[in-house]
Structure formats: structure tokens, C-alpha cells
Structure 1
Amino acid sequence: MKQRIKKYLPKFILKQYYSNINKRRYSGNAVECPICHSQFKIFKSYGVVERENAECLKCGSLERHRLLWKYLNEKLNFFEGNKPIKVLHFAPERIFFNEFIKSNNINYIPCDLYPEYFNYNEQVQIEKVDITSIPYEDNSFDFILCNHVLEHIPNDKLAMTELFRVMKPGGFGILQVPLDPNLINTYEDFTIITPEAKEVAFGQHDHVRVYGLDYKQRLENVGFKVCVDDFAQTLTKESCFKYGLIESEMIYKCSKEI
């Protein structure tokens, strides 16, 4: 039946068709996205191995985005300051991009190795930047956001070294990766090269490793002072469900000492 619908209906009608289905399926107010404030019965399932209560149907945020949003707003009061702050953002998620570009005190540089993949149609240009060779001077940025990027980078130590180099003394960054808390040591094997084999080994076809609990040490080895923040665990189980958060996810807040 689904194949017949896809075959005979134009794309714009298909989009409306599935939108109406989703409205009926997810209608409710048991969960709420803290970013776009939309409410649903439950968030949509998402992932290669599907996770329940994961994706916001309005803004597309996932658990990690909503956790960082609450962390930046509620614990760090990041958007309330008046002091000018220079921000470097790798692989810029639209939900954070929108907030950063409208903040008057933020000098914002979004970047990616493939900026052509980001069709935001905004006046702020996404710069072409290789994270292992960042084209900015030492001690340039007050804040760096690098969310689920390093697992794609073969030479992650060089990338971390570059992130540390361009961070200002007294600055900080949030450097999140998918991490397996059951692994003591990060697992990587560069003889695994096909997308199919990478998906089996690392959980996704474009990942090159699975980080373990030594991730903190890997960051410290290049100079960062690392605070592993259990912010999600300070919230109630009811709040974690309501906002679609993973209770066990830690936040890696990395700073550069003065």
C-alpha cells in the first residue's frame, strides 16, 4: 500500500499526507521540545538502531541537541550575557545556528569541511574548514561547539590539538561524541574501510571509531582541562522523558587554562 501511494502521488501531496498521519499519531502534550517548544504524545523514533522518543517532529532536534540546549541555557546562562564572545561551530546544526546568528553579542563563525551541504539560505556564510588544519590564529575563540564530529575524523588527536590551539585561554568548548560507557578504551581499526563494515564495527557507515571512557584522557592529552558533567542526571526521570533526553549522556566541557 505504501509503495502505491509513493508511486502515484506528487511529492508535495505525499508530504502533506504523511504530515497529517504524524499529526494524528503524535498529537498530545506528554513531551515538549525545549528548543522550539512544540508538544507531542512522544518524540519520533530515530537512528540506525532506532531510539524511541528521539526526534522532534517540528525542528528535528535529537536528544543530544536538547540536552545541550538546556545545559547552555539553564546551567551556563550562555545567551544572557552582554560580553562579546567569539564562537566557532563545527558542522553547525540549524537549531543552534539560528540562535547564534541572532545574538548581538556573539561573533559567530559556523564551519564545515563541506559547507555546500548546509543550505540555510542565511546571510551568515558557513566557512570551509578542515578541523585538522584550522585556518585561524592561536587563542582566537571564547567558545567552540563541536558536536558529534570527531568520530568521523581519522586523526582525531590532530583535530583536538587544533581545537585547543585556537581556543582562548579562559575559553571553553563542548566537544561531544557518541560514547560507549561499557568500553574502557576507544575502539578503532583503520583496516576497516568499507561503509558496510564500518556500520557493523562503529555503528555508522561514516564513523571511524567508537569512543570509550578514555575519551576524557584523550582530550586532556592535548592540553584541555575536562569537566565531565552529569547534567542530565541532575534532572528527574520525568523531566528526561518530557524533554527527550538520555539520562546517561555526559557533557564534555573542555577549557583552556589561563
Structure 2
Amino acid sequence: MKRLFKSLLNTVPRPILIRLSYVIRPLLALYLKGNRFTDPIDGKGFRSFLPYGYAQQRPNVLSPSTLSLERHRLLWLFLQRETDFFSAPKKVLHFAPEQAFYQRFRKQANLDYTTTDLESPLADVKADICQLPFADNCFDVILCNHVLEHIPDDTQAMRELYRVLRPGGMGIFQIPQDLQRATTFEDNSITDRAERARVFGQYDHVRIYGRDYFDKLRTIGFEVREVDYTAQLTAEEIERFCLAPGEIIPLCTKPL
């Protein structure tokens, strides 16, 4: 199964994978039903999760029901337990909307919810993150997770995120990050898909972010909290929800 998933991820375009998943997901959820692990997004239990990864497969991380990964489940728990995201009226912009969240956020009566992306079939607005078609200061919450590592000019993308976020608004900009690395690594000369996957972890990534990612966001103007939310969870919760200990949630706010 690991080889099959790796082959699909590296050969099938993401928009097609999204469409295929709607057919395959119910079958996988039924086959893997159990009580060892729980997806906190929908509360369903499984005897195992699925493997996932473009270069190196991580075992037991992809939920069969919501298709959530560790980062999605961690973010869901944070939003649910630590914020008023699910209760207060909010205008939300969601980049490259993840299937784990898309239908659930859209059904939230308190959310004025807009999705955007260049290619995703789930996008309401087809837009370039470096040149957004939205007015200044118009969103209360921006979710832009595992997007910036795909963008050659991530500085301009960050400026646009800052521009359209309202003062006092919240942005969560998760990225794949090597916390052992002080500085971000980029090499535009690497163009081969297989080599990109080997070096950057995925064929369509253009950098590996280091610890300096948070300071880069601060230079744009954001106030940034580096939230290690797994430190606030029990070891039993981390294991049951299949989370990645030590993963940081970059919680960004635009000063009033």
C-alpha cells in the first residue's frame, strides 16, 4: 500500500486526486474501522491510519475518513479548544482548502467563508496569492497552510496576506519546517521532479523553511506566536489522534 500511495501522489495531478478521493474515501473508512486511533475532526475510530508522503512515506498518518494529516488534526484541536473560530462571526479566507476542513467550515453558520487557489476544484476564487483580488483589511481569519513552500516569491505572498487581513485579525500559516535548521534553504537550480522530492520533500516545493520563518513573517509586520500545541496535550491524546510532537502552529496577528 505504501508504494501505491507514493506512486499516486507523485504521478497524479492534485486536482484529480481530490476528485478521486471522494469515491475511495468511504471504502477506506469502512475497511479500516476500529478503535485504536481517533480522528478528532469527525470523531470516527480506526484500527490504523494510512501512510502518506511524496519522498519518504510516513506510516499511519492519513485519516481514512477526513483525509486529515497530523497538521490538520492539530489545527482542528487548536481552533476548537483555544479560539472562538467555531462560535463568533468571522469572515474567513482559506487558501488551497483541505478536504478535511472544506465542507465543515462551509456549513458553519458563523463563518462567511471564501476559498481561493489557482488550481483546486474546491476554490471559490481562482487567484494568485501574490496578487489577490481582495480589498485591504477585509478578512478576520486567513488560513494558508502548506502553501508558501510552493511559492517562488513567498515575500510578496506574505505581504498580500498581511494586506487583506484586518487589524486584530488572525492568520495561521503552517508550513513544512525543519526546526533543526536555523535558516531557510532554497536552490532554484534544482528543477528535476525526483531531485526536488529528495531535497525538499515534495516535487513541487521550492524551499525548506528553517526557524527563521517566524522572523520573516515578523518583518512583514505580523505579530507571531510560535505555538507548540502538542506540549499542552497528553501523551495519550498525541498517540490517539496521531499527532506529530513538537509541530509548531505559526499564529499570526495584524496589529491594531
The 3 A distance-change label for structure 1 pair 138 and 225 is same
**Fraction of identical pairs, as percent:** 43
> Structure 1 residue 66 and structure 2 residue 73: aligned?
yes
1:52 aligns with 2:52: no
Deviations 1:192-232 (A, max 9, x none): 12212211211110000000000001111111000000111
Q: C-alpha displacement at 1:39, in angstroms? A: 0.5
Question: Whole-Å Cα distance in 2 between the matches of residues 128 and 113 of structure 1?
Answer: 5
Map of 1:44-123 to 2, 5 A cutoff? Answer: 44-48=50-54, 49-81=56-88, 84-114=89-119, 117-118=120-121
Q: Is the 8 A contact 2:28 2:64 kept in 1?
A: no
The total of aligned residue pairs comes to 233
Deviations 1:46-100, CA, capped at 9 Å, x for gaps: 113121220111121111111111110011132022xx31111000112222122
How far residue 234 of structure 1 moved from its aligned partner, in angstroms, is 1.1
Partner of 2:162: 164
Secondary structure at the counterpart of residue 240 of structure 1: helix
- Structure 1 residues 104, 196: closer, same or farther in 2, change over 3 A? same
> After the TM superposition, which parts of structure 1 deviate over 6 Å for at least 4 consecutive aligned residues?
none
Taking structure 1 as the reference length, the TM-score comes to 0.85
Structure 2 match to 1:43: 49
Larger CA deviation: 36-45 vs 133-142 = 36-45
Q: Check if 1:127 corresponds to 2:132.
A: no
Structure 1 unpaired stretches of 5+: 4-14
Give the partner amino acid of 1:44.
L
Letter in 2 for 1:87: V
Give the drift of 1:28. Answer: 2.5
Structure 2, gaps ≥5 residues long: 5-22
Distance of 1:30 and 1:44 partners within structure 2 = 13
Structure 2 SS opposite 1:147 = coil
Alpha-carbon distance, 1:156 to partner: 0.3
Instruction: Specify the alignment match of 1:6 in structure 2.
Output: none
Q: Give me the whole-angstrom Cα distance separating, in 2, the residues matched to 1:239 and 1:77.
A: 22
